[in-house]
């Protein structure tokens, strides 16, 4: 079974050792954090776009639920 890191690297062109930051960076005072490197965020965006497109053609029923689960993986939950 592949990790999200491996999927982002193999299928979505994420270059570098790790698409995830070693330590999440605080983005703003509302408690938002950045968990991905620039390359990781670009690859993750491609993955999300694919999921949304697959929902659009009827292959996936609940893209939002899948994206929520992926977001939990990114946040390390």
* CA–CA dist 57, 69 (Å, integer): 21
77 residues of the chain, pLDDT tens digit each: 999 999 999 999 998 778 999 999 998 988 889 999 999 999 999 999 999 999 999 999 999 999 999 999 999 88
Its pTM stands at 0.90
Residue spans per domain, the chain: 4-75
Who's near 44: CB < 8 A, 6+ residues apart? 8, 12, 19, 36, 70, 74
């Amino acid at each position: 079974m592949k990790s999200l890191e491996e999927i982002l690297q193999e299928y979505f062109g994420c270059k570098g050792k790790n698409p995830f930051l070693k330590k999440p960076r605080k983005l703003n005072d509302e408690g938002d954090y950045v968990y991905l490197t620039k390359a990781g965020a670009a690859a993750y965006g491609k993955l999300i776009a694919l999921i949304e497109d697959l929902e659009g053609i009827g292959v996936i029923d609940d893209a939002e639920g899948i994206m929520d689960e992926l977001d939990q993986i990114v946040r390390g939950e």
